[in-house]
A and B are shown apart, each in its own frame.
Chain A
Amino acid sequence: MTDATARGANGFRYIGRRRRAVEHRRFVLGQGRYAADLRLPGMLHVALVASPHAHARIVAIDVAAAAALPGVEAVLTGEELQQQVDPMLPGVDAPKVARYPLARGVVRYCGEWVVAVVAATRAQAEDAAELVRVEYEPLAHAGDAASAMREDAVLVHPEHGSNVIFQRKFRWGEVDAHFAAAARQLSYRVRWGRSSTVPIETFGVTCAWNDADGLLDVWASIQMPKYPDQLARCLRLPGNAVRVHYDIDVGGSYGVKRGLKHTVLVGYLARRLGRPVRLLEDRLENMRGGDMQGPDRQFDVTLAFDDDGTIRSMRMRAIDDIGAYSGRAPLQLGKPVGAIVGPYRIASVEYEAIAVLTHKTPQEAVRGFGQSPTNYAIERGMDKVARALGMDPVELRRRNLIGADEFPYLIPSGTTYDSGDYEVVMDKALRAASYDELLRERDALRSSGLLAGVGLSTCLEPSGGNSSFEPLFNARNETTTWMDSCLVRIDLGATVTALIGTSSSGQAHETLVSTVVGEVLLREPDSIRVLHADSLNALPSNSPVGSRMAIMLGGAAAGAAKKLRAKLLAMGAYRLGAQVDAVDYVDGAVVLRADASCRVSWEQLVDIAHRKHHELPPGMEPGLQEKFVWEVPTGGSLPDADGRVQMYPCHSFESHVVLASIDPLTGKVSLLRYVVGHDCGVMISPDVVHGMTYGGVAHAVGASLMEKFAFSDEGQLLSGTFMDYLLPSAEEVPAIAIVDHCTPSPLTEFGQKGSGEAGYLGGPAAIANAVNDALAVRGAAIDSLPMTPQAVWRALREAANHEGTTA
């Protein structure tokens, strides 16, 4: 590295430079601080008794034998708990769909918690849990969305009156006219399988109640907006009686670490028992009762287009099976409204979103919050249209991608895309993949007897996570801000500390904030400490969801640092007897522009602020500490009557190019080449962005080829272990090449956009397109994820049989 104070090609000193993540050192030394690492004196452990039925009436519960076991401190049933806590509310207007940590009277999915056992050790708690006798009367169940939507369906929540918890048809633009004017139409159905992010760390939480202070301390592997507030409400505690410690390292989340029900249970137990209580999900509890399964969607789409490939309009109906209870799940149909046309110039859209309750493990927020399934549905359509027209899929996209000169670009559903250069990014990816050569390689594979295909996707990653889907899907919810914040202080020793109000689950927020604060204050980022405050010390945060922290936390940190810089400038100018506009801020010192020898050093400025009130400008607050709370740019408004609203502010773009082969004997897919062109504006930490993109692609490999929460006809989860729910290993994930591009966002401090969901948002679409390109040679197609060997083999066989009958 050259001069440490030099600015890079991007005009920044620290932003965009390779820098080791601050967090790494503790992790490689085994000194992370995860929820399971916490040990409190007298801590008790919870094990759970779960429902073995998809739907049953609880006839009787006998806890006597369990309670009598040595070491057992409590055996809690839903009968008691539901009287002592308030329900967790669904994300939509469905107050009768009440959700509690423990079932009472009826169980609604296999794995639902029925009884909690508290003992001195987890092993003892499990011993006792085995002795709890629950008598059930099994009931008929609704096993999938189709059957749950029938007139005579068994109701998951009879009080709600229907299994459909949300349904709305939006029409944006002249859909009928555009359809009538289009030369052609194409209808198709695609299915997104029930998968999730499945972090390697399960959810864990420890709570301790202090009688004297009336305070509940919470340490959890949490990634959830407004967790302390919701927890306090459920526990009927004042907001300031719950203190969530955000200095817990979270072992992966990507959306799902939202153990509110776990925490309500453990918080209640800790208070009742007066002892610290811990619940660490084991993997079985996590998979079936951890309530973290992801979207499970069927899309019916019709595209209207012209012979030249222009897509004029789209009708899309999405039915999502959200499982037995509702949290954020229905809203995952809402976020895609903000990118419902993808990166394309589609003039009108009809979108019907239907969220259905079934007797399955509930769905939780998953990386992309519903966008990746929608991208998959759109991108499959692009390839189908290309095939129908006999057009190269690249050319079809070229004709429909929004042009670089068209930004800001308003889409029919009310969101304005901030900036982009889609065609250039696609071309970069194609070039990096040597597209023509890739096609030749594909053809060579085909002539060697394999099936092979090339797949492409061009997709958006809406970022800067706002919650406009809340009022859009629930008129009673008028939330129009999803602020984030940061506090920065300079201590007497002249070092800088920043406080953030969230935990991190691998996004390197300490690195982000110290880089940003260093950039603004022109101090070496490695000298800046970043702390995760607790919820009573911290300013508001909406947590790292919706690819928002580079934008929102980065913006908040910059805002606080800028306030400090302004203060330092004012102090320096005063000390120099100059006007503020006559001085410059140079590497922490304030320098008279006209005479650089007149300067007040960083140390002097700090000294004045903390010790020399007589040298402070009159009326200025002593000390050096500033906070900044940032509203999401473009946020603040409610949807109009037609459901038009600005969803997220920034829009990152990615273009995937994949070469896949299929073993025609087994149906097994291998990914041979993988390139991602990616534009998330200005990258603050390039390694972090690339890392998340690689990880997103790996997750895409899982979702498209391997991972599924499958249920039996009886509603039993068939993939409740890591032996059946298959996360891809290093041998399934290919080497991945990323090509960067930078179109700065005009809405953010440094031009950055979000990237936490990168790779995952376009991966399944591209992989599915590659597999289908390979299958097309045999007249076969597959439009259901995951594309397992068996499913691919079946698609090939059906095509062969069909050919046999029509030949």
Chain B
Amino acid sequence: MPSCVTIRMTVNGKAVERTVEPRQTLVDFLRDELGLTGTHVGCEHGVCGACSVLLDGQPVRSCCMFAVQADGLQVTTVEGLAPARGRLSTLQDAFCEAHALQCGYCTPGMLVACHALLERNPHPGEAQIREAIGGNLCRCTGYQQIVDAVKLASSQELCHD
């Protein structure tokens, strides 16, 4: 029987340590070990993007890596995007305002992808927004209001209030 591995990482700013089976994916680790159920599983084969998280600040698919590969790294999930408890980030706020979601299932991955986009390009054009979310499938919105939300967020000061 393969041996378990002790891993440490920083998740949403908090240091965590767990001993896990190497085969546990990062998304299962976040959900099952840490109880961070905001990150969702959609396809488990790297197409839908629902499981997107930030790894050292960059969006990645957490179904396409094992938790052990994230040992020592920084992970930010949707739960870590808000600036403080009870508050929304500008982007989260814009998603609510522009009705950029319906069932909410793809939303955490979308937020992560859009957050990363705005970090590197605070004023993206429509084509850039569509490219940035091209790897995140949504079945509810037709993407229109997501694009609108990103535009709205980028038009506001990114003060994260």
Contact = CB atoms under 8 A, between A and B. Distances in A.
Contacts of A687: 99, 145
Contacts of B103: 199, 201, 249-253, 505-506
B93 to A, nearest CB: 8
Contacts of B147: 730, 735
A508 interface: yes
A507 B108 CA distance: 18
A236 interface: no
A10 to B, nearest CB: 19
B82 interface: yes
Interface in A284-300: none
Interface string B113-141: 00000000000001001110111111111
A20 interface: yes
- SS of B interface (majority): loop
Instruction: Give the most central of B47, B103, B105, B143: most A CB within 10 Å.
Output: B103
Interface residues of B, number: 56
Contacts of B41: 36, 280
B62 interface: no
B107 A27 contact: yes
B130 A34 contact: no
Nearest to A19: B99
A735 B145 CA distance: 10
A691 B99 contact: yes
A201 B42 CA distance: 5
A695 B141 contact: yes
Given A27-B107, A30-B79, A506-B102, A736 B43 contact: no
B137 A695 contact: no
Contacts of A249: 103-104
- SS of A interface (majority): loop
B115 to A, nearest CB: 11
A253 B103 CA distance: 9
A199 B137 contact: no
Contacts of B111: 28
Contacts of A697: 142
B44 A29 contact: no
Contacts of B106: 200
Nearest to B143: A730
B54 interface: no
Contact of A722 (B23, B47, B144): B47
Contacts of B131: 730-731
Interface string A180-199: 00000000000000000111
A690 interface: yes
A695 B140 contact: yes
A645 interface: no
B77 A30 contact: yes
B88 A198 contact: no
B97 interface: yes
A506 B95 contact: no
A5 interface: no
Interface in A386-403: none
B57 to A, nearest CB: 18
A621 to B, nearest CB: 39
A21 interface: yes
A718 B35 CA distance: 36
B70 interface: no
A731 B130 contact: yes
A282 B28 CA distance: 13
A2 interface: no
A665 to B, nearest CB: 22
Instruction: Give the most central of A27, A39, A687, A698: most B CB within 10 Å.
Output: A27
Given A251-B103, A251-B104, A505-B103, A733 B43 contact: no
Interface in A16-33: 20-21, 23-32
Contacts of A805: none
B13 to A, nearest CB: 15
A243 interface: no
23 contacts: A20-B99, A25-B88, A28-B92, A28-B101, A28-B104, A29-B79, A34-B37, A36-B41, A37-B31, A39-B35, A197-B139, A198-B139, A200-B138, A202-B42, A252-B105, A252-B140, A253-B103, A283-B45, A506-B140, A721-B47, A730-B146, A735-B147, A736-B144
Interface of A: 20-21, 23-32, 34, 36-37, 39, 123, 197-202, 249-254, 280, 282-283, 505-508, 687-688, 690-699, 721-723, 727, 729-731, 733, 735-736, 759
